[in-house]
Structure 1
Amino acid sequence: MWRNLETSTNSKRTTTPRLCWGSKMLERWRSLSPVPEIGARNVLIADSAHPLDFRIGRDCRGRFVFMLDTDKPVDKRPVLPSVKGMLIELENLANDRTRLVVVLQDDADLQNFSLMCTGLMLATNAISASRSPEGLLKTLEELHRWHEMLKRRRDNRLTRSERIGLVGELLFLRDELLPRMEILPALLAWTGHEGHEQDFVISSAIFEVKTQVVTADRMISISSEDQLDPVQGRILLCNQGISPVPSGTSNACTLNSIVKELVGLAKATGGAASDLLAIGLLEAGYEPHEEYDDEIWMLVDRAVYEIRGDFPRIERAELRHGVEQVRYRIRVSDCQPYGVDLHSTLEKLIYG
């Protein structure tokens, strides 16, 4: 039994959501009271602008609940993940409909639970109501991904290479995107934390950001045969060199300090920016730790190369059957003929 406190799902629009979930959704969630009836839920539509029927609620035990009603998938059987601290189940509804129910078992995890639910809605915001079974499968896929991410995250620190990579992505976001676009679209362009092959998608171009400590023999490490394969679209490789510097050096940053700077910018903007940044950092495995302040970095150089023609790379189509998960390195000196001007490239992509 539901106690629906908002309008019917028939009033939903299939336009792009306003991305106003997150903190506002959390406030509305907390405003709900448990219902006395056994099996009942006090329910609100999560966002009437989202094309899918997501709802938030509290059950008779006061637990926070996240739900999605869809048509039943026909061709693929849904596989439910097992996520620690959450109860996940499917309920059968009338008219070949089904309901995904995710119940938070410990209120202390509500902040991250809310961020996860915001991430699920963000991942499905382009799926129309007429394709709701696809939306259910995508939501379950994202739940599986969050399960793996949270499992890896417990009591772990980022490795040095992971810290350098994250610093590099945040430097690119701060230095190159934020001067040219508002923080919300800039954060939406940042995809590296989601496990994608590339780090940013800007208009029609894919940016792979590779950051390394400056050495005499500069090499770029490529993590798969797909990372520089132009079959995905136009790919631009941004190579950044950073160098460790003493404390107090101007224009230097630590991982914690650049995160703090971006968090401040997101909070000043308001809306969904803070939530999107928090989701990105969570998915990247970041939590503030004092030892992250021990590494102080300064950007030394930044160059961009376009993956075209005979650019040194491996593509999937070139591999013999059975060869996969290829890792290799490229000499930066051999990339020079494919250099492009970053400023004009970004200006054209962003402003047309």
Structure 2
Amino acid sequence: MINPWESIKTPATDLSARRIDHKHPLDIFWAKDRLGRYLFVCKLTDECKLPSKYPSLFGIEITSISETKQLVLSLKNPSDWELFFSLCNDIISATRILAPAAVVPVIFRRIERWREFLKKDKVKLLAERTIKGLIGELVYLNLHLAKKYGISQAIDFWTGPEGSPQDFNVKNVAIEVKCQIGTSAPKVKISSAEQLCSQLDELYLFVVTLGRTEPESQDSVSLPSLISNIQTTLEEEGNTQQLEQFLDALLEIGYIHNEEYFNYSYIIASKKFYEVTENFPRITLLDIPNGIGNVTYDLELTNCEPFLTDEPWVSLV
């Protein structure tokens, strides 16, 4: 990750700035003040209305300069620049396709969302198991659901980050997504009895088999590349609500952009659907005695072969 503030000289007075994105509806800049602090500056237009009170954000000061109509985010500790950079890029992504008058409310919604995120325990990178699981969900979202229903509807179907037992709910059908590495035994971990026990009419298990590869390999997939593709599609279609919804889901999972995620690159070796019916090998809620909770188990996929099925599509009519 390249620090955009390193190449900006500290000014003797005022600010030294570099414009970020000429396609953005407002003029936005990476900047430094005379104290050398890292700033994110947004030059407002007459249509922009600032709130009467700004939220507090740990390590970041939010101010406005009325004379020049600028909204300024200042980083207090330069060592936290990567997190600050991710916050700024989140704001840029969420506001790039808006009309100028709509930008400020979204900026403060993103700041509030990050305020909630920063209250949680954070790690620099997600665990590899979580990385693989998120890749599987985004592969299903972008390469399957979006192809059938469009990216906006696919985002609405993604219910896992909201706490749903299954990753996707499509009308009366639930889909649970799992990933495995091709060199390992053909099995996936089921983290709760509820995952393979849906309240909906139908339930399917979608298993993606991945193989580790180099980041520059042809046809490789990684979290940053998948996320970038989805964000670009949402921006091109002007889907501001689903774009914010998508960014919120990533924060809920604990993902913020980091170049190190490119080191976790994979090729998709296979994709399979299993129909979870009454005789499917699983632990149901009725199998669990009173007093037993937090059931997790390994599902041997070789025993699931009789339940292989074609990709399930459901009509939204």
1:327 aligned to 2:300? no
Normalised by the length of structure 2, the TM-score is 0.66
1:267 aligned to 2:258? no
Q: What is the distance in 1 between the residues matched to 2:266 and 2:217? A: 9
1:93-132 matched pairs, under 5 angstroms: 106=62, 108=73, 111=91, 114-115=109-110
Which position in structure 1 is the counterpart of 2:216? Answer: 248
Q: Following TM superposition, by how much is the alpha carbon of 1:176 offset from its aligned partner in structure 2, in angstroms?
A: 0.4
Letter in 1 for 2:282: R
Q: What is the distance in 1 between the residues matched to 2:214 and 2:122? A: 31
Which position in structure 1 is the counterpart of 2:34? Answer: none
- 3-state DSSP of counterpart to 1:314: coil
Which position in structure 1 is the counterpart of 2:49? Answer: 32
- 3-state DSSP of counterpart to 1:251: coil
RMSD between aligned residues: 3.2
Q: Following TM superposition, by how much is the alpha carbon of 1:286 offset from its aligned partner in structure 2, in angstroms?
A: 1.1
1:221-260 matched pairs, under 5 angstroms: 221-260=189-228
Q: What is the distance in 2 between the residues matched to 1:234 and 1:318? A: 20
- 3-state DSSP of counterpart to 2:250: helix
Which position in structure 2 is the counterpart of 1:154? Answer: 122
Which position in structure 1 is the counterpart of 2:30? Answer: none
Please say if residues 122 and 254 of structure 2, whose CA atoms lie closer than 8 Å, have aligned partners that are also in contact: no
Q: What is the distance in 1 between the residues matched to 2:180 and 2:136? A: 8
1:197 aligned to 2:165? yes
Please say if residues 304 and 341 of structure 1, whose CA atoms lie closer than 8 Å, have aligned partners that are also in contact: yes
Please say if residues 202 and 350 of structure 1, whose CA atoms lie closer than 8 Å, have aligned partners that are also in contact: no
Please say if residues 235 and 307 of structure 1, whose CA atoms lie closer than 8 Å, have aligned partners that are also in contact: yes
Change (3 A) 1:321 1:313: same
Q: What is the distance in 2 between the residues matched to 1:155 and 1:340? A: 38
Which position in structure 2 is the counterpart of 1:210? Answer: 178
- 3-state DSSP of counterpart to 2:193: coil
Q: Following TM superposition, by how much is the alpha carbon of 1:155 offset from its aligned partner in structure 2, in angstroms?
A: 4.7
Map Cα deviations across residues 160-213 of structure 1 (whole Å, 9 max, x no partner): 111111111111111101111121111001112223221111121011000111
Please say if residues 190 and 201 of structure 1, whose CA atoms lie closer than 8 Å, have aligned partners that are also in contact: yes
Please say if residues 223 and 326 of structure 1, whose CA atoms lie closer than 8 Å, have aligned partners that are also in contact: yes
Which position in structure 1 is the counterpart of 2:10? Answer: none
Letter in 2 for 1:286: Y
- 3-state DSSP of counterpart to 1:206: strand
Q: What is the distance in 2 between the residues matched to 1:195 and 1:153? A: 18
Which position in structure 2 is the counterpart of 1:5? Answer: none
Q: What is the distance in 2 between the residues matched to 1:195 and 1:152? A: 16
Which position in structure 2 is the counterpart of 1:169? Answer: 137
Q: What is the distance in 2 between the residues matched to 1:165 and 1:313? A: 20
Q: Following TM superposition, by how much is the alpha carbon of 1:227 offset from its aligned partner in structure 2, in angstroms?
A: 1.1
Please say if residues 237 and 306 of structure 1, whose CA atoms lie closer than 8 Å, have aligned partners that are also in contact: yes
Q: What is the distance in 2 between the residues matched to 1:233 and 1:324? A: 25
1:63 aligned to 2:54? yes
Change (3 A) 1:180 1:116: farther
Q: Following TM superposition, by how much is the alpha carbon of 1:281 offset from its aligned partner in structure 2, in angstroms?
A: 1.4
Map Cα deviations across residues 81-104 of structure 1 (whole Å, 9 max, x no partner): xxx849xxxxxxxxxxxxxxxxx9
Q: Following TM superposition, by how much is the alpha carbon of 1:320 offset from its aligned partner in structure 2, in angstroms?
A: 1.0
Q: What is the distance in 2 between the residues matched to 1:232 and 1:322? A: 26
Which position in structure 2 is the counterpart of 1:184? Answer: 152
Please say if residues 146 and 153 of structure 2, whose CA atoms lie closer than 8 Å, have aligned partners that are also in contact: no
The percent of aligned pairs where both chains have the same amino acid is: 24
1:219 aligned to 2:218? no
Which position in structure 2 is the counterpart of 1:292? Answer: 261
Structure 2: 5+ residue stretches without partners: 1-24, 26-43, 64-72, 74-86, 92-106
Map Cα deviations across residues 112-170 of structure 1 (whole Å, 9 max, x no partner): 751487x8xxxxxxxxxxxxxxxxxxxxxxxxxx94x5433535321111111111111
- 3-state DSSP of counterpart to 2:270: strand
Change (3 A) 1:309 1:268: same
Letter in 2 for 1:167: I
Q: What is the distance in 2 between the residues matched to 1:310 and 1:324? A: 23
Please say if residues 236 and 307 of structure 1, whose CA atoms lie closer than 8 Å, have aligned partners that are also in contact: yes
Normalised by the length of structure 1, the TM-score is 0.59
Q: What is the distance in 1 between the residues matched to 2:111 and 2:150? A: 23
How many residues end up aligned between the 2 structures?
236
Change (3 A) 1:216 1:159: closer
Q: What is the distance in 2 between the residues matched to 1:116 and 1:228? A: 36
